[in-house]
């Protein structure tokens, strides 16, 4: 396992995460301790997992979108809409604490999230609009819609069943963690146990070749946006549930950036194609651990973002084969290096793919349109 | 078509008398598991066109990359113009006067011709680009090559052939002593090749040393003065073109006497024997405006129907219509007597059609997926994502077809982009053979691949036909079409002008393709 990990780019996010956790453990006594209280698990590590759950959910959806050569900037807006819809429904109902009310509210929110994903999917896969532009539409309009739903107010609700998703516990673990974990497992099984993952990667790597090979590229791209919308919807419910309120202005603000970052840190190329869900989980955890570190280390708020960006730059640089080659090429000749997101660091593994008479690797320089 | 080394005005080609511009000695380069070059010597003289020949995997590209500084060398020496070089990157190689024009034009289609030619060396004035001088200089460079292209026109508005000539003009702009042309002719038609050769000869006569790589033997013999043959990373020998008969060249490249071509002809004859009379596919006034004028044709099982014609004659366009890659706007298509509309490739695939595009890189290869995934892609797509092939079935299929088509290296986990062109093409063929097609449409399946793989693919096509598959075969090489097809539909000016049986090939084909006016 360790050997396999060492051969993949995932080693760097793992190291970064462990380093962050170690730093915290060193600075905060009891950081690693997990205690049981009222049958619930508590501790900083659990907090990181729970607070990172919404970002992780959004990032999972984003991973598949990015694998299809796309991007979804509208997830933050969908988070806001989803939370706003649920709170508006619960707030205006006769029985805000009723389980039925809460389930209806969630169903409405998720259905609308799926429809929003459908909208993105239509723009991208049927009308052929560039993903970044297509989803920018909803990114801008969506927050307006959320504000419209909440009428510009922060809607607070008092509904114990609604609180379960974001702040509740099940079998000692926060429900938020369990939900995001479940989504991760389901997506993992759905894409890797079926052929969906391979077909999705094929579409992301070469859409035209995939179409000619009979892959339903359009359907796949479409589905991926719907799924991403759904993930953002669940995340929106989680965030609203955690604070028992819908804040249309701030819920999910910049979450699209965190999600994209998590995907990239996890080693999935923004150019589409090969993706790693495990990498995305690591990426989301790194981002959350960073936020926690900022608090525990006591970094002044003015430089919080600078600190965050430094760590991110470091992780991304370490993942870049080109960057690592800068160090190795002082000792080695330049010819050996393999460039590209999926390339191995240096030919230490015997499974190096280099073959005599390799076709000209224009792929390195050619930037594909997202 | 004969090589004319004696016409060369430069000092004689006798290597003893002129010092080579490039001298590579005892070059070795290894990759994990592979020795790509093993003690190869190579030299390039001023004022000669020197062809580098070899099968895929022989080390041609590696040698070129060593010379252009893309790869470092493990051992050996490179001397350019008398001074030893240790290239640490392509830049140093360019500074030493070595320029390269690749198969795919590596320029910016959205810039003008002039901007492309002088990219990175634009004349400046007050820190800004001086377009008047830029265009004047570009025009001068173009006219030195006797090319009349407006330097202000956008590069992308020109056909590939012109873009290639612009790339050469760009190479001469850096006053290259050495010009490397890597498969420059693979997307050009005959006239364009003639134009390219005129430019090459002009540069040669001006003293440039030209390294030429092409899979077209005719072209190699037409243009080169000297030939170096590599095989399996080793030097086989350096020959004067005039003193090397074709058969000897081919056997030097393959390292064995080649009887395979005769074998191919035999099996083509056998394929004719098992043809059935009922057409598998019949098209009636089938076309798409403006790409293809209505065509009426029968395609029978066991048929190898050639589509012959020049680039732009409508041959590729017709093939795409047959597969539903583009939608027909007129006419009917019948499969087994039933009228069908091919709305998408999936409809065609459901009828057991298969298609490999002429544009292997953009429309076939899924480079970042493994050979294994690429092999099963079409079958898996037809089954749908919910019915994945089991690992066992996959392994069996992959092993079987990698063996049958001799795909190298025999490692299914290798990413497809790391295979040579010929092996990539075999993977694409196998991708469809796995789906057991009834109609197999092959658009230029042998373009840009080495002689050995070419023969294997030709053989494969005839075997498929013998097994009852209907084949539509497109190739720019007439020899190939006449050798393996039992009927040829000649395309010209986007219409089908004739349908020939194998007996009529010799007399009519060339004139039909060229048109009556010539």
pLDDT of residue B506: 62
Query: Is residue B9 a contact partner of residue B18, using CB atoms and an 8 Å limit?
Result: no
Q: Which of B65, B357, B385 comes nearest A194 by C-beta?
A: B385
pLDDT of residue A347: 36
For residues A41 and A168, what is the distance between their CA atoms, to the nearest angstrom? 11
- Decide if B387 touches A, using CB distance below 8 A: yes
**pLDDT tens digit string along A22-72?**
988 888 888 888 888 888 888 888 989 999 999 999 999 999 999 999 999
Residue B346 host element (H or E): helix B345-350
Considering only A232-246, B30-44, B108-122, which range has the smallest mean pLDDT? B30-44
**pLDDT tens digit string along B421-434?**
889 999 999 999 99
Residue of chain B whose Cα is closest to the Cα of A217: B381
Residue B52 has pLDDT above 70, yes or no: yes
Residue A361 has pLDDT above 90, yes or no: no
Strands B124-125 and B128-129, how do they pair? antiparallel
Residue A370 has pLDDT above 80, yes or no: no
Interface probe with B: pick from A213, A216, A223, A346, most Cβ of B within 10 Å: A213
Residue A206's closest CA among B362, B139, B439?
B362
pLDDT of residue A330: 52
Return the percentage of chain B with pLDDT > 90, whole number. Answer: 39
More confident of the two residues A324 and B202: B202
ipTM: 0.80
The gap from C-alpha B348 to its chain's centroid, in whole angstroms, comes to: 27
Number of Cα atoms under 13 Å in the Cβ half of residue B157? 9
What confidence tier does B512 reach under pLDDT thresholds 50, 70, 90?
confident
Mean pLDDT in residue range B450-460: 85
**pLDDT tens digit string along B63-113?**
999 998 888 888 899 999 888 888 888 888 888 888 888 766 678 888 999
Q: How many CB atoms lie within 10 A of CB B193?
A: 19
Is A213 in contact with B431 (Cβ distance < 8 A)? yes
Q: How many CB atoms lie within 10 A of CB B176?
A: 22
For residues A257 and B383, what is the distance between their CA atoms, to the nearest angstrom? 37
Q: What is the pTM of this model?
A: 0.73
Residue entry with tokens 């070129």: B64
Fold of A2-328: ABC transporter involved in vitamin B12 uptake, BtuC (1.10.3470)
A361 contacts in chain B (CB < 8 Å): 417
State the nearest Cα–Cα gap between B294 and chain A, in angstroms.
23
Residue B9 has pLDDT above 80, yes or no: no
Mean pLDDT in residue range B124-145: 87
Is A358 in contact with B346 (Cβ distance < 8 A)? no
For residues B480 and B192, what is the distance between their CA atoms, to the nearest angstrom? 20
Mean pLDDT in residue range B488-497: 85
More confident of the two residues A253 and B30: A253
State the nearest Cα–Cα gap between B262 and chain A, in angstroms.
29
Non-local CB neighbours of A305 within 8 Å, separated by 6+ positions: none
pLDDT of residue A3: 54
Is B368 in contact with A201 (Cβ distance < 8 A)? yes
pLDDT of residue B256: 52
- Decide if B159 touches A, using CB distance below 8 A: no
More confident of the two residues A347 and B17: B17
Number of Cα atoms under 13 Å in the Cβ half of residue B24? 27
**pLDDT tens digit string along A158-216?**
999 999 998 889 988 899 999 999 999 999 999 999 999 999 999 999 999 999 999 99
Question: What are residue B362's phi and psi, to 5 degrees?
Answer: -90, -25
For residue B409, is the peptide bond before it cis, meaning its omega torsion is within 30 degrees of 0? Answer: yes
Q: Which of A195, A212, A361 comes nearest B357 by C-beta?
A: A212
The gap from C-alpha A27 to its chain's centroid, in whole angstroms, comes to: 28
pLDDT of residue B361: 86
pLDDT of residue A164: 92
Query: Is residue B33 a contact partner of residue A350, using CB atoms and an 8 Å limit?
Result: yes
Mean pLDDT in residue range B6-16: 43
pLDDT of residue B428: 96
pLDDT of residue B34: 63
State the nearest Cα–Cα gap between B187 and chain A, in angstroms.
16
User: Hey, what are B105's tokens?
Assistant: 């034009």
B409 contacts in chain A (CB < 8 Å): 355
Query: Is residue A138 a contact partner of residue A77, using CB atoms and an 8 Å limit?
Result: yes
Is A210 in contact with B104 (Cβ distance < 8 A)? no
pLDDT of residue B383: 93
Distances (CA, A) of A191 to A105, A117, A264, B415: 29, 19, 19, 20
For residues A281 and A275, what is the distance between their CA atoms, to the nearest angstrom? 12
pLDDT of residue A141: 95
Give chain B's mean pLDDT. Answer: 84
pLDDT of residue A76: 96
Q: Which of A202, A347, A357 comes nearest B377 by C-beta?
A: A202
Could you say which DSSP state residue B187 is in?
Answer: T
**pLDDT tens digit string along A260-304?**
999 988 988 888 899 999 999 999 999 999 888 888 778 887 887
What confidence tier does A312 reach under pLDDT thresholds 50, 70, 90?
confident
pLDDT of residue B177: 87
The gap from C-alpha B44 to its chain's centroid, in whole angstroms, comes to: 24
pLDDT of residue B251: 74
Query: Is residue B304 a contact partner of residue B488, using CB atoms and an 8 Å limit?
Result: no
- Decide if A315 touches B, using CB distance below 8 A: no
What confidence tier does B2 reach under pLDDT thresholds 50, 70, 90?
very low
Mean pLDDT in residue range A92-98: 90
pLDDT of residue B188: 75
A199 contacts in chain B (CB < 8 Å): 377, 380-381, 385
pLDDT of residue B350: 94
- State the virtual CA torsion across B163, B166, B167, B169 in degrees, nearest 10: 170
Is A212 in contact with B364 (Cβ distance < 8 A)? yes
Cβ pairs A/B, distance under 8 A: 162
Is B349 in contact with A358 (Cβ distance < 8 A)? no
Non-local CB neighbours of B100 within 8 Å, separated by 6+ positions: B64, B68, B171, B179, B180, B181, B182
**pLDDT tens digit string along B378-424?**
999 999 999 999 999 999 999 999 999 989 888 899 999 888 888 99
Is B61 in contact with A351 (Cβ distance < 8 A)? no
Non-local CB neighbours of B4 within 8 Å, separated by 6+ positions: none
Residue B16 has pLDDT above 70, yes or no: no
B132, with CB counted inside 10 A (0-12, 13-18, 19+), is exposed
DSSP alpha helix (H) spans, chain A: 2-7, 11-27, 44-67, 75-92, 99-121, 131-150, 160-167, 175-192, 196-205, 207-212, 217-243, 255-265, 277-297, 304-319, 321-328
Between residues 269 and 288 of chain A, which touch chain B (CB distance below 8 Å)?
273-274
The gap from C-alpha B46 to its chain's centroid, in whole angstroms, comes to: 27
Q: How many CB atoms lie within 10 A of CB B399?
A: 13
Q: Supply angle C-alpha B165, B105, B136, rounded to 5.
A: 45
Mean pLDDT in residue range B173-188: 81
Q: Which of B31, B66, B421 comes nearest A354 by C-beta?
A: B31
Residue A359's closest CA among B427, B216, B433, B253?
B427
Mean pLDDT in residue range B202-231: 89
For residues B146 and B143, what is the distance between their CA atoms, to the nearest angstrom? 4
Give chain A's mean pLDDT. Answer: 84
State the nearest Cα–Cα gap between A107 and chain B, in angstroms.
26
For residues A346 and A22, what is the distance between their CA atoms, to the nearest angstrom? 28
Residue A346 has pLDDT above 50, yes or no: no
Query: Is residue A9 a contact partner of residue A267, using CB atoms and an 8 Å limit?
Result: yes
State the nearest Cα–Cα gap between B378 and chain A, in angstroms.
5
For residues A256 and A236, what is the distance between their CA atoms, to the nearest angstrom? 12
What confidence tier does B507 reach under pLDDT thresholds 50, 70, 90?
low
B74 contacts in chain A (CB < 8 Å): 333
What confidence tier does B22 reach under pLDDT thresholds 50, 70, 90?
very high
Helix, strand, or coil (residue B31): strand
**pLDDT tens digit string along B334-356?**
999 899 999 999 999 999 999 99
């Amino acid at each position: 396992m360790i050997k396999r990990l060492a051969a993949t780019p995932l080693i760097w996010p793992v190291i970064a995460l462990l380093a962050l956790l170690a730093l915290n453990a060193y600075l905060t006594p009891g950081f690693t301790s997990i205690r049981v209280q009222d049958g619930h698990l508590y501790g900083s590590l659990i907090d990181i997992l729970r607070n990172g759950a919404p970002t992780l959910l959004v990032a999972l959806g984003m991973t598949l979108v990015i694998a299809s050569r796309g991007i979804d900037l509208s997830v933050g807006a969908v988070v806001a809409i989803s939370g706003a819809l649920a709170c508006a429904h619960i707030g205006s109902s006769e029985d805000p604490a009723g389980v039925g009310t809460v389930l209806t509210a969630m169903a409405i929110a998720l259905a609308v999230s799926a429809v929003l994903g459908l909208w993105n999917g239509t723009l991208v896969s049927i009308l052929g609009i560039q993903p970044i532009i297509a989803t920018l539409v909803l990114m801008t309009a969506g927050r307006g819609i959320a504000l419209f739903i909440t009428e510009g107010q922060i809607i607070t609700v008092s509904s114990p069943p609604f609180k379960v998703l974001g702040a509740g516990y099940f079998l000692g673990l926060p429900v938020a963690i369990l939900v995001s974990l479940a989504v991760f497992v389901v997506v993992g099984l759905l894409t890797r146990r079926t052929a969906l993952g391979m077909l999705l990667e094929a579409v992301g790597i070469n859409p035209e070749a995939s179409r000619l090979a009979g892959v339903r590229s359009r359907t796949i791209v479409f589905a991926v946006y719907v799924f991403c919308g759904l993930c953002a919807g669940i995340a929106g419910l989680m965030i609203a549930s955690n604070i028992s309120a819908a804040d249309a202005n701030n819920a999910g603000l910049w979450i699209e950036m965190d999600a994209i970052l998590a995907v990239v840190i996890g080693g999935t190329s923004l150019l589409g194609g090969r993706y790693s869900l495990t990498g995305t989980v690591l990426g989301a955890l790194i981002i959350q651990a960073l936020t926690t570190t900022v608090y525990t280390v006591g970094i002044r708020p003015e430089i919080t973002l600078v600190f965050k960006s430094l760590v991110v730059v470091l992780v991304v640089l370490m993942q870049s084969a080109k960057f690592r080659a800068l160090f190795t090429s002082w000792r080695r000749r330049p010819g050996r290096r393999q460039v590209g997101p999926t390339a191995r660091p240096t030919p230490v593994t015997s499974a190096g793919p280099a073959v005599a008479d390799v076709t000209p690797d224009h792929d390195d320089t050619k930037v594909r349109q997202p | 078509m004969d090589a004319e080394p004696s016409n060369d005005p430069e000092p004689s080609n006798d290597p003893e008398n002129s010092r080579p511009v490039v001298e590579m000695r005892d070059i070795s380069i290894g990759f994990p598991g592979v020795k790509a070059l093993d003690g190869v010597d190579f030299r390039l003289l001023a004022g000669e066109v020197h062809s580098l020949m070899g099968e895929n995997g022989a080390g041609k590209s590696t040698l070129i990359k060593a010379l252009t500084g893309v790869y470092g060398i493990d051992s050996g020496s490179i001397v350019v113009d008398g001074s030893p070089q240790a290239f640490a990157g392509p830049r140093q190689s360019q500074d030493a006067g070595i320029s390269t024009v690749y198969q795919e034009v590596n320029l910016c289609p959205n810039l003008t011709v002039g901007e492309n030619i002088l990219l990175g060396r634009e004349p400046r004035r007050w820190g800004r680009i001086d377009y008047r001088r830029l265009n004047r200089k570009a025009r001068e460079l173009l006219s030195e090559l006797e090319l009349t292209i407006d330097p202000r026109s956008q590069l992308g508005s020109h056909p590939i052939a012109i873009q290639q000539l612009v790339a050469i003009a760009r190479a001469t702009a850096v006053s290259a002593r050495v010009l490397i042309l890597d498969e420059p002719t693979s997307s050009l038609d005959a006239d364009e090749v003639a134009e390219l050769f005129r430019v090459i000869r002009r540069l040669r006569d001006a003293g440039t040393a030209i390294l030429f790589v092409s899979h077209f033997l005719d072209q190699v013999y037409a243009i080169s003065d000297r030939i170096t043959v590599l095989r399996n990373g080793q030097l086989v020998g350096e020959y004067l073109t005039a003193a090397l008969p074709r058969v000897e060249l081919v056997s030097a490249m393959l390292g064995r006497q080649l009887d395979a071509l005769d074998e191919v002809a035999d099996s083509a004859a056998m394929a004719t024997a098992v043809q059935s009379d009922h057409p598998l596919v019949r098209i009636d006034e089938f076309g798409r405006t403006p790409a293809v004028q209505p065509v009426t044709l029968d395609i029978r099982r066991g048929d190898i129907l050639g589509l012959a014609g020049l680039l732009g004659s409508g041959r590729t366009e017709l093939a795409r219509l047959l597969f539903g890659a583009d939608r027909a706007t007129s006419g009917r298509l019948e499969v087994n007597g039933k009228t069908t509309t091919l709305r998408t490739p999936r409809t065609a695939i459901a009828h057991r059609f298969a298609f490999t595009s002429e544009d292997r890189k953009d429309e076939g290869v899924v480079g970042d997926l493994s050979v294994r995934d690429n092999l099963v892609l079409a079958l898996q797509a037809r089954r749908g994502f919910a019915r994945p092939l089991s690992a066992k079935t996959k392994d069996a299929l992959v092993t079987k077809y990698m063996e049958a088509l001799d795909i190298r290296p025999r490692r299914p986990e290798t990413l497809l982009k790391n295979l040579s062109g010929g092996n990539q093409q075999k993977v694409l063929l196998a991708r469809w053979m796995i789906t057991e097609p009834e109609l197999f449409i092959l658009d230029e399946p042998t373009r840009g691949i080495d002689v050995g793989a070419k023969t294997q693919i030709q053989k494969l096509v005839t075997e498929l036909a013998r097994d009852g598959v209907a084949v539509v075969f497109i190739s720019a090489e007439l020899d190939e079409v006449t050798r393996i097809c039992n009927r040829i539909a000649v395309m010209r000016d986007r219409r089908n002008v004739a349908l020939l049986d194998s007996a009529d090939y010799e007399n009519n084909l060339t004139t039909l393709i060229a048109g009556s006016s010539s």
